[in-house]
């Protein structure tokens, strides 16, 4: 059978080609009854719009780049990213948009990604897991591409930049929740394993820890990298410095899982000798550690949906009219989920 055309859709629906085109391409100004006839004709004929023709009419590619500033090995091994991408994908799919995933492995990739973003392939970009020196926001601005950031931007001047839009969780509040819980258990020598301190989520969670322990021993702070191995290395470092520690707040569930392994190898019982709290509440980790992990929950999938939703609003011309002085931000709440480790 020949491929159905827009003309055949218009004929089946009993409308003009122009009316059929407006309905198929999401245009306005068509009565509901006519729109319903055209849609019924599309379904009956199995018509698939020509993407190139649609782009000429709408000036939209119906595609959004998701740029993750992390290596492939971490993206596909950490369930945090799977949940984040699932939220983004579901929101974009509901709006008939395609997700295009781009990864940054090393410095050379920034040029490649910049060429792609500037090549007219996508309508906008979602940028997340950025580091302080990350050029991605400047690249997107240079090529004139609307973007939304995952995580609080931390570079100088970001707090007053009205052009920025970002989604984050209450990382600092989550850090406070973790330490408050450990203190409520009577723990007094509370250590923390931070994430990479060139990322604002790590800095904010450490600040939450310090809010409750302003005079804390610096030997009780070790930097990790959001991976199980990094958490294990940091835990071993903490035990060597302060073998008398009685609690640990790890800034991610992945690092907490590595810390639990090292504690077990060192003969420390959890939670009897050392209580452990993580961050994220990624079920694939928190519910399966031994013992199951007490953790600070952030709604990772919802943050992905919110990022996509905010970008789609920008692409359809819905602008902020609140007279704000700084970035548009959405901060999602965090809460404690108590399991067996603390």
Positive/negative CA dihedral, 281, 283, 284, 286: positive
**Angle between helix 6-13 and helix 32-45 axes, rounded to 10 deg:** 120
Give φ, ψ of 106 to 5 degrees. Answer: -155, 180
Q: How far apart are CA 297 and CA 276, in angstroms?
A: 14
**Angle between helix 79-94 and helix 300-315 axes, rounded to 10 deg:** 40
pLDDT at residue 318, rounded to an integer: 63
Looking at every residue in the chain, the average pLDDT score rounds to 90
Mean pLDDT of the region 75-91? 92
pLDDT at residue 22, rounded to an integer: 81
Which SS3 state, helix, strand or coil, does residue 279 take? strand
Best mean pLDDT range from 61-65, 111-115, 125-129, 183-187:
183-187
- What tens digit of pLDDT does each residue of 148-198 get? 999 999 888 888 888 889 999 999 999 999 999 999 999 999 999 999 999
User: CA-based angle 316:319:325, to the nearest 5?
Assistant: 155
Strand partners, 150: 128, 167
CA distances 311 to 91, 146, 307, Å, are 11, 7, 6
Which SS3 state, helix, strand or coil, does residue 74 take? helix
Residue 154: is it exposed, middle or buried by C-beta count within 10 angstroms (0-12/13-18/19+)? middle
Which SS3 state, helix, strand or coil, does residue 192 take? strand
pLDDT > 90: percent of the chain: 63
pLDDT at residue 88, rounded to an integer: 95
The answer, yes or no, to whether residue 48 has pLDDT greater than 80, is: no
pLDDT at residue 321, rounded to an integer: 47
SS (H, E, C) 233-251: HHHHHHHHHCCCCCEEEEC
Q: How far apart are CA 128 and CA 235, in angstroms?
A: 27
Residues 6+ apart with CB under 8 A from 229: 258
Strand partners, 332: 169
Question: For residues 78, 201, 136 and 113, what is the CA-based torsion angle, rounded to 10 degrees?
Answer: 0
Positive/negative CA dihedral, 99, 100, 104, 110: negative
Mean pLDDT of the region 271-286? 95
pLDDT at residue 29, rounded to an integer: 78
57 or 25, greater pLDDT:
25
pLDDT at residue 324, rounded to an integer: 55
Residues 65/122, Cβ–Cβ less than 8 Å: yes
Strands (E), 6-154: 63-68, 98-103, 124-128, 147-150
Strands (E), the chain: 63-68, 98-103, 124-128, 147-150, 165-169, 190-194, 221-223, 247-250, 275-280, 294-298, 328-332, 334-337
pLDDT at residue 58, rounded to an integer: 52
Overall size of the chain counted in residues: 342
Strand partners, 68: 103, 128
pLDDT at residue 325, rounded to an integer: 57
Long-range contacts of 310-316 (CB under 8 A, 24+ apart): 310/148, 310/165, 310/167, 311/64, 311/124, 311/125, 311/126, 311/146, 311/147, 311/148, 311/165, 312/91, 312/92, 312/95, 312/97, 314/124, 314/146, 314/148, 314/165, 315/60, 315/123, 315/124, 315/146
């Amino acid at each position: 059978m020949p491929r159905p055309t827009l003309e055949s859709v218009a004929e089946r629906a009993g409308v003009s080609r122009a009316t059929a085109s407006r309905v198929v391409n999401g245009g306005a100004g068509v009565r509901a009854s006519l729109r319903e006839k055209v849609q019924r004709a599309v379904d009956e004929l199995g018509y698939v719009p020509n993407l190139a023709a649609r782009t000429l009419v709408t000036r939209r590619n119906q595609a959004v780049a998701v740029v993750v500033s992390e290596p492939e090995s971490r993206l596909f091994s950490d369930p945090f990213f799977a949940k984040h991408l699932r939220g983004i994908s579901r929101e974009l799919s509901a709006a008939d948009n395609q997700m295009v995933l781009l990864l940054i492995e090393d410095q050379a990739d920034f040029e490649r990604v910049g060429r792609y973003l500037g090549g007219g392939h996508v309508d906008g970009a979602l940028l997340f897991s950025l580091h302080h020196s990350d050029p991605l926001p400047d690249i997107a601005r240079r090529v004139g591409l609307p973007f939304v950031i995952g995580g609080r931007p931390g570079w100088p001047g970001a707090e007053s930049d009205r052009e920025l839009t970002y989604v984050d969780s209450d990382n600092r509040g989550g850090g406070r929740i973790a330490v408050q819980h450990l203190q409520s258990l009577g723990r007094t020598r509370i250590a923390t394993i931070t994430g990479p301190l060139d990322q604002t989520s790590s800095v904010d969670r450490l600040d939450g820890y310090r809010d409750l322990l302003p005079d804390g021993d610096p030997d009780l702070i070790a930097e990790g990298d959001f991976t199980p191995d990094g958490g294990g290395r940091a835990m071993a470092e903490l035990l060597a410095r302060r073998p008398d520690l009685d609690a640990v707040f790890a800034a991610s569930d992945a690092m907490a899982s590595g810390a639990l392994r090292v504690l077990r190898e060192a003969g420390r019982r959890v939670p009897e000798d050392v209580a452990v709290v993580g961050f994220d509440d990624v079920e694939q980790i928190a519910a399966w550690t031994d013992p199951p992990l007490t953790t600070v929950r952030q709604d990772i999938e919802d943050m992905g949906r919110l990022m996509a939703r905010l970008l789609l609003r920008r692409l359809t011309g819905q602008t902020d009219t609140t007279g704000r002085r700084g970035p548009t931000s959405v901060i999602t709440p965090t809460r404690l989920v108590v399991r067996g480790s603390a």
